[in-house]
Amino acid sequence: MGSYVLTILVSTLLGSLSYAVYLRVFHPLAKVPGPLLASLTRLWLVYQSRTLKRHLIELQLHRKYGRVVRVSPNEIIISDPEYVKMIYGANSPFLKARWYETVGPKDADTMNLLGEWDMKKYALQRRLVGPIFTTPALKTRENLLEAPIAKFLSKMKRTKDEPQDIVKWMNIVALDLLTEITFSESPNYIDRATDDANAIDVDAFWQQIHWMGLCPDLWVAFVSVSEWCQRFGLDLFFKADIAKLSIVQYYIGQLTSRASEATRAAESATTPSNYADLASDIARFAAARPDFKPQWAATITLHIIGAGFDTLGMTLSAAIVHLARTPTCQAALHHELDAARNTENLDAMPKYTQTLALPYLQASIAETTRLTPVIGIALPRTVPAGGASIDGYDVPAGMTVGMNPWVLHRDKRIFGEDADTFRPDRYLRASEGQRHVMEAVSLAFGGASRSCPGRNLAYMCLSKTLAAVFLEFEVEVLGEEEVRRCQGEGEGYREECFFVVKWHGVWVRFRERGQ
């Protein structure tokens, strides 16, 4: 018995050593530099993800090892603008990797724009929803954004310079903005000064997804076992479910109410309410297109909030904080806004068209999404049949490759030696060719082949909100000691990455200008 066990142990050890030698010496990616443990097991990348610092870790990896780094036996990350178009460009054959299995079902009847692998189906769905999210179409609903912005400005004026948790407040503003433009009403989070724990719950979803996506087979087993246990009333495994967010339940309630109203109107031959918002636009558009499945209309409506509020909230927070921390930048924006206002080119509640004519404001938004993009991990893609040549390495089909916006957007060859600094002027002083290159490498809203359909809506919300805020206020970022007094001893600033990058413990003071 003892010799049998010894034989098994020795065989296992020799097998493991042989496999390790293969991974380090004979594997197709063996020559790609990177941490030793990363080349031997994917658990190294899982561990790095669990630290919630992958955006910073991958930045340091590239600065240590170069433009191509091996981060698991079959995965490399790349920081070279030359390959953005090849991997993420329109019609790229590099499809989304298995990491995206965790973000939802992808059968024939579902709409899952983030995780869909079938590019023909994805292209159809993007063509169907595209007209709804064009800038001209969104401008017809722009007026719905103005009430939430006005409420926030009024709320901050009443606080009389009291410290404010900027991330909390921008999440609240984003929730009300997106809900108002979708349904012509909102849960009034701004008035209630709460987001009903939506931010905490969506963070829990991403925290689970971002590392379990690295182990897709484990994820499949996890979901199966979890569902089996729930049949018997056993909730043994925590499974984050974005459908349980209170804001998602609010959306479902709104959609259900409108569907019931339409049914009653049809049965009684009366005219239903004539809504004028994104939800009604989506419903009318879907009804006019036989290839637009009925359930897709509800899904894309839910996507507006489920995929948008925390990313919009974080970008608003980052823009305000970057400008406030850089007095010369805040002063430059104030000067631009005042000049436009004094020449009657900017309303007290700015119109989107007016904000597009404000170059420093638009440069500040571009610089925010460059320096602190919401996505903090390499966006994984699978190498297509035939393989790929990347920076002199022959990468076989089936391997995973990706580029991290946090790394790519700080490339000094493109953005200059001060790429780690917030400087909106870089976009204003660059030549047309330089600006084109800077814009071409941006992954702030994903690559061209899979870009976020809500991008135009996000820019409208960002432009109107930031213009309105800085017209009215001078913003001051509180120091660390004052932050601790606001939120308790032991608490301070922290930055976490779980696919999306979130800030915590950033407090500001809104001082009304002219007082």
Residue ranges of the annotated binding site are: 452
SS3 for 513? coil
C-beta separation of 75 from 402 below 8 A: yes
C-beta separation of 203 from 349 below 8 A: no
Q: Quick one: 90 exposed, middle or buried, by C-beta within 10 A (0-12, 13-18, 19+)?
A: exposed
Q: Give the full edge-to-edge strand order of the sheet including 379-382.
A: 68-72, 75-78, 400-403, 379-382, 95-96
Determine the straight-line distance between the first and last CA of the chain, rounded to whole angstroms.
87
Taking residue 276's Cβ as centre, other Cβ atoms within 10 Å add up to 12
**Residues making up the binding site for heme:** 452
Q: What residue has token string 């090892």?
A: 65
C-beta separation of 129 from 456 below 8 A: no
SS3 for 78? strand
Q: What residue has token string 């530099």?
A: 33
Give the up-direction half-sphere exposure of residue 325: CA atoms within 13 A in the CB hemisphere: 15
SS3 of 84-145: HHHHHCCCCCCEECHHHHHHCCCCCCCCCCCCCCCHHHHHHHHHHHHHHHCHHHHHCCHHHH
Taking residue 44's Cβ as centre, other Cβ atoms within 10 Å add up to 18
Taking residue 42's Cβ as centre, other Cβ atoms within 10 Å add up to 16
Q: What residue has token string 């600094």?
A: 421
DSSP label at 473?
E
What is the distance between the alpha carbons of residues 236 and 238, in angstroms, rounded to a whole number?
7
With CA atoms as reference, report the closest residue to 245 among 190, 195, 207. Answer: 195
SS3 of 289-344: CCCCCHHHHHHHHHHHHHCCHHHHHHHHHHHHHHHHHCHHHHHHHHHHHHHHHHCC
